Amino acid sequence: MFRLLNLLFAFSFAFCWTKEELNAFVERQVKEKFGEDVRVNKVILLNWDGKGEGVPKVELDMEYGKVRAFAYLQFEGNRYTAVVDALWRAKLLRAREDIKKGELLSAELFDVEERWLKSVPKDLLIDPKELKDYRASTDIPKGSILRRSVMKPSPAVNRGDLIKVIFRSGNIQIEGQGTALDVGHVGKVVRIKTSGGKLLRGRVIDRGVVEVLD
């Protein structure tokens, strides 16, 4: 739909572009690429001389969350540069209460807060679903925005934990209980002891769950 509108718009003004019309054209290109995650404040054409004719090819030099944002408009025989002044939508996690150092994190401890920012540091981009695998590496005061720098991976199993043990063979799955003999994060291979006393090796697939290796 965006492309059709852009083409119709471009053809309507193929031989009479104004700076304002080109600014609007670039803004639509940005919206087409980034959707509702971007809000364009303004587009500034740097070297427009009014000589562009036809439908320009637009190359966007911009990434989500980055301040640096340019658009290059290529007409036949002419190339123009535009600066895109934009804000990025970011969903941040705000602590509902004081969180102590070492406490296991969970989505229930945070509210999702939407903000529009000039730049979005990767340190702030956290999926609430990730939190169950992390603990607070320092005290997190109520009302503060969560950053990755205050999170540390939390082992999915600890030495001595009572765990669920899964045995798989083809389409057959058997579940039992055992004890973890090592500390391990999801994906790590650990030693386990079954309820029958047998020593085995398995891969941690979830918190408190280990799948026995063949």
Task: Give how far Cα 32 sits from Cα of 27, 29, 39, Å.
Answer: 9, 5, 12
Give the pairing of strands 172-180 and 189-194: antiparallel
Q: CA 86 to CA 100: how far, in whole Å? A: 37
pLDDT tens per residue, range 178-206: 999 999 988 899 999 998 889 999 999 98
pLDDT tens per residue, range 115-161: 999 999 999 999 998 898 899 999 999 999 999 999 998 888 999 99
- Are residues 188 and 197 in contact, defined by beta-carbon separation less than 8 angstroms? no
pLDDT at residue number 47: 87
E runs forming strands in the chain: 38-45, 57-62, 69-75, 78-95, 110-117, 134-136, 151-153, 162-169, 172-180, 189-194, 199-206, 209-212
In CATH, the number for domain 162-212 is 2.30.30.760
Task: Give how far Cα 102 sits from Cα of 56, 59, 135, 160, 193, Å.
Answer: 56, 47, 5, 19, 27
Q: Where in the sequence of the chain do the CATH 3.90.1210.10 domains occur?
A: 89-153
Q: CA 63 to CA 70: how far, in whole Å? A: 10
Can you state the percent helix, strand and coil of the chain, rounding each to 5? 20, 45, 35
Structure tokens belonging to residue 31: 């919206």
Is the pLDDT reported for residue 15 higher than 90? no
pLDDT at residue number 6: 55
Q: Which of 3.40.50.720, 3.90.1210.10, 3.10.20.30, 3.40.605.10 is the CATH number of 89-153?
A: 3.90.1210.10
Q: Where in the sequence of the chain do the CATH 2.30.30.760 domains occur?
A: 162-212
Is the pLDDT reported for residue 13 higher than 80? no
Taking the complete model, does pTM exceed 0.75, yes or no?
Answer: no
